[in-house]
Amino acid sequence: MPIQESEIDPSLASSENENDETYFFDHFSKSMLIDALKNYLTLIVKNTKEPYDKSMFSVFTKLFKRKEIEKSLKKDIAIEVFRAVYHLHHQMTNKIRKCDEKDLEEFLKQVKAQFLT
């Protein structure tokens, strides 16, 4: 059965949306990705039995390297990232999470490079 013209949303076909490279992401994927990232950060912080692994933040590193996603995500997820960083640092310095001095230095270096630049 063919699609009726009355069923098509004209705002989806407008030329201004075609020129916006983040339109699809902002309207269809962004909220799901933000929820998933927040849940991931919560799991990282709660699971203190796992030793610190520098790949924990690799998903953020990869996402923030993509300029079209980075500008949409940073403002929505920044507080959650800093909260997780604070809790991980607390866990590592108070020996709640297994890590050695080298891991702690690497963690702080990674945080500074990724989130404070």
pLDDT tens digits, 90-104: 888 888 888 777 877
Tell me the backbone φ, ψ of residue 83, rounded to 5 degrees.
-65, -45
> Would you say 54 and 99 are in contact if contact means Cβ atoms under 8 Å apart?
no
Q: Is 113 helix (H, G, I), strand (E, B) or coil?
A: helix
The confidence score (pLDDT) of residue 15 equals 47
The confidence score (pLDDT) of residue 6 equals 55
DSSP code at position 55 = G
pTM above 0.85, yes or no: no
- The separation between CA 34 and the C-alpha centre of its own chain, rounded to angstroms, equals 7
pLDDT tens digits, 51-98: 877 777 777 777 777 776 777 777 788 888 888 888 888 888 888 888
> Would you say 84 and 44 are in contact if contact means Cβ atoms under 8 Å apart?
yes
